[in-house]
Structure 1
Amino acid sequence: MTDWTPADMPDLEGTTVVVTGANSGLGLEGTRAFARKGATVVMACRSVDRGERAAAEVRESSSADSDLDVRECDLASLDSVRSFAEGLAADYDAVDVLCNNAGVMAIPRSETEDGFETQFGVNHLGHFALTGRLFDLLLAADGVDGTARVVTQSSGAHEQGEMDFDDLNWEKSYGKWKAYGRSKLANLLFAYELQRRIDAAGDLGVRSVACHPGYTDTNLQLRTARESGNPLLKVGMRLANAVLGQDAAVGAEPMLYAATADADGGAYVEPGGFMNMRGHPTVGRSNDASYDRADARRLWEYSVEATGVTFPFREGDDETVEAVDDA
């Protein structure tokens, strides 16, 4: 087990960090840690009211004068993502760190405002669109150590995910846990493909890093149980969180490490303890499917078409991207 903790984070005075899902769980603990180190934290939340309550909690628990900016960003709406990005570009010159953290888990099938299956639409497509729309601000940043960071939160559940490009939105059949696993695999395919395309485009000063929090006691599991309508699952989730789950502050450490420590582009940061499900962060490796270059390119192309968002750099052709990956 490693011994890195948020106390090892550098001074973040003068940096701007965007955290999606910042009002609870991992996002809230990440926000708290970034703010303690002096960063301006833009709290991208679906509910501004919940975001403001969370910001008040952070300010009350911190001795520092936390610079928190709560803004609406509903990842289930591409219009909301666009409005958020446009508002940020109007008010900020740069974004040093983007934490793609928000997510939904194992919910009954539903669709986003734009007609995508919700887990795939929120966990992957919403963050894909957000990253593309904020990329100019990332390019303009000095970064934490000279490079801006895009940190994408995945899950150990990616190992149960399978890409089916004939039914990405689960219109033919639906399994809520399978859909969650696919969305988390998509997070990794995106994070690694983004780094390959950055490398192919040249020295952009932006780094893409993936992470997962391990088994962490957050309201994500409780929301899953609540929406299932199964009282036994509610009891089971509460018991599992109490017995197996680590504190959310520890669960946020891989994201914080990926955002501020010396992690290479394309790295996968995970807990370094028991079965990589708890403990302080270390750099590990996700499953083989997450490094499938053909699936990554296909997902990228689909995501551009589905969201209408492109990235503002010359991405290179597939042969260039593949050559960089093999180097």
Structure 2
Amino acid sequence: MSHKQQPIGSGYHARSTAADVLDGIDLAGTTAVVTGGYSGIGLETTRALANAGARVVVPARRPDLASQHLDGIPGTEVDELDLADLDSVRAFAERRLADGRTIDLMVNSAGIMACPETRTPQGWELQFAVNHLGHFALVNRLLPLLREARVVSVSSSGHRLSPMRWNDTRFERGYDRSEAYGQSKTANALFAVELDRLAAPAGIRAFALHPGAILTPLMRHVPESEQRDMGWIDEHGNPPEHFKTAEQGAATQTWAAASPKLDGLGGVFLEDCEVAAVNPDLGPGPGVRPHAIDPDEARRLWAYSAELTGVNAFA
């Protein structure tokens, strides 16, 4: 897989915005689904896609709040979805299937980060359940509508915090919120690798990405004192210069969803509107870590996720 992880000379960069990467692209007649599309970089992704002409469906755990945030953005609609609840995932998918509209672009942008230890009714660790398993079940259930579509999984540089913890994926031997976040972000990347392998023959291509460092509601579970200690904010609550705005943070996932510059590619990890290089260093620094693009790990995760959720469109 790593041989595909080569920059392609996109012409964009870390300061490009979602509007920049869609300049000149007409999405009229297309339908997009953007989970988390009413907050943070998800909202800016929705805005950019809608402004380019796409009809954007925004699944939301809090539909009323989503409708408020999307007010004034034409071509958007809200439908109820709780990614932590597989019954809710199934119900949402059934409504979309009954609607019958083909989905051309799917951006899995919803997520949680560094939350206190929380379990789903099945006993799954919540970050893994929401960030990965809910999206895994959703994409598999929506597969009949994904015709030559792009499926984009929003991972993070946090993937370097943990590979898949096969000896304790549920953190039953002790919870670490950062490692749990890292495992879920590794899972997002591996999901794209295996989905692309399975679905590319049908014209469905999958990508994962690191959007960059951005101050968004995603950080709500991290106390301000910790954010200051980690250099995310200064004493006045302002982020450092290298942090992106929400519009810039949305650029890579928007580029992944719609740019013709990625035609013929898939199963790769992106950052700063470019195909990321492989970086074997587990410390800070750019690039994707090998454990997040390992095809054997991706196959193993797919089988494990199908077992847990009871959903596998490729069985």
Band of TM-score, shorter chain: 0.7 to 0.9
Give the whole-Å Cα distance in 1 for the aligned partners of 2:106 and 2:297.
Answer: 24
> Is the contact between residue 9 and residue 260 of structure 1 (CA under 8 Å) also seen in structure 2?
no
User: How far did 1:210 drift?
Assistant: 1.2
Q: CA separation of 1:32/1:113 partners in 2, compared to 1, >3 Å: closer, same or farther? A: farther
Aligned counterpart in structure 1 of residue 300 of structure 2, from 284, 298, 301: 298
Give the whole-Å Cα distance in 2 for the aligned partners of 1:177 and 1:9.
Answer: 40
User: How far did 1:112 drift?
Assistant: 2.2
- Give the TM-score of the pair, scaled to structure 1: 0.82
**Number of the residue aligned with 2:282:** none
Deviates more, 1:147-156 or 1:240-249: 240-249
User: How far did 1:301 drift?
Assistant: 0.7
1:262-301 equivalent positions in 2, closer than 5 A: 262-263=261-262, 264-271=265-272, 281-285=273-277, 286-301=288-303
Higher helix share: 1
> Is the contact between residue 16 and residue 41 of structure 1 (CA under 8 Å) also seen in structure 2?
yes
> Is the contact between residue 163 and residue 292 of structure 2 (CA under 8 Å) also seen in structure 1?
no
Identity %: 43
Q: Match of 1:309, as an amino acid?
A: V
Give the whole-Å Cα distance in 2 for the aligned partners of 1:194 and 1:178.
Answer: 24
> Is the contact between residue 72 and residue 84 of structure 1 (CA under 8 Å) also seen in structure 2?
yes
SS at match of 1:304: helix
Give the whole-Å Cα distance in 1 for the aligned partners of 2:303 and 2:312.
Answer: 10
Q: Match of 2:138, as an amino acid?
A: L
1:107-126 equivalent positions in 2, closer than 5 A: 107-126=115-134
Q: Match of 2:290, as an amino acid?
A: D
User: How far did 1:185 drift?
Assistant: 0.5
User: How far did 1:72 drift?
Assistant: 0.9
Give the whole-Å Cα distance in 1 for the aligned partners of 2:104 and 2:23.
Answer: 18
Aligned counterpart in structure 1 of residue 37 of structure 2, from 22, 34, 37: 22
Q: CA separation of 1:295/1:246 partners in 2, compared to 1, >3 Å: closer, same or farther? A: same
Give the whole-Å Cα distance in 1 for the aligned partners of 2:199 and 2:307.
Answer: 20
1:90-101 equivalent positions in 2, closer than 5 A: 90-101=98-109
* Greater relative contact order (Cα < 8 A, sep 6+): 2
Q: CA separation of 1:166/1:241 partners in 2, compared to 1, >3 Å: closer, same or farther? A: farther
Aligned counterpart in structure 1 of residue 145 of structure 2, from 118, 134, 137: 137
User: How far did 1:216 drift?
Assistant: 1.2
1:78-93 equivalent positions in 2, closer than 5 A: 78-93=86-101
Q: Tell me the alpha carbon deviations over residues 140-176 of structure 1, each in whole angstroms, 9 at most, x when there is no partner.
A: xxxxxxx311001000111121212121111111110
Give the whole-Å Cα distance in 2 for the aligned partners of 1:9 and 1:80.
Answer: 37
User: How far did 1:25 drift?
Assistant: 0.3
Give the whole-Å Cα distance in 1 for the aligned partners of 2:294 and 2:204.
Answer: 22
Q: Match of 1:183, as an amino acid?
A: S
SS at match of 1:104: coil
Give the whole-Å Cα distance in 1 for the aligned partners of 2:40 and 2:238.
Answer: 13
Aligned counterpart in structure 2 of residue 233 of structure 1, from 218, 226, 246: 226
Unpaired runs of 5+ residues, structure 2, are 1-9, 278-287
Deviates more, 1:190-199 or 1:23-32: 190-199
User: How far did 1:100 drift?
Assistant: 0.8
Give the whole-Å Cα distance in 2 for the aligned partners of 1:247 and 1:82.
Answer: 34
Unpaired runs of 5+ residues, structure 1, are 60-65, 140-146, 272-280, 315-327
- Give the TM-score of the pair, scaled to structure 2: 0.85
Deviates more, 1:120-129 or 1:284-293: 284-293
Give the whole-Å Cα distance in 2 for the aligned partners of 1:164 and 1:231.
Answer: 29
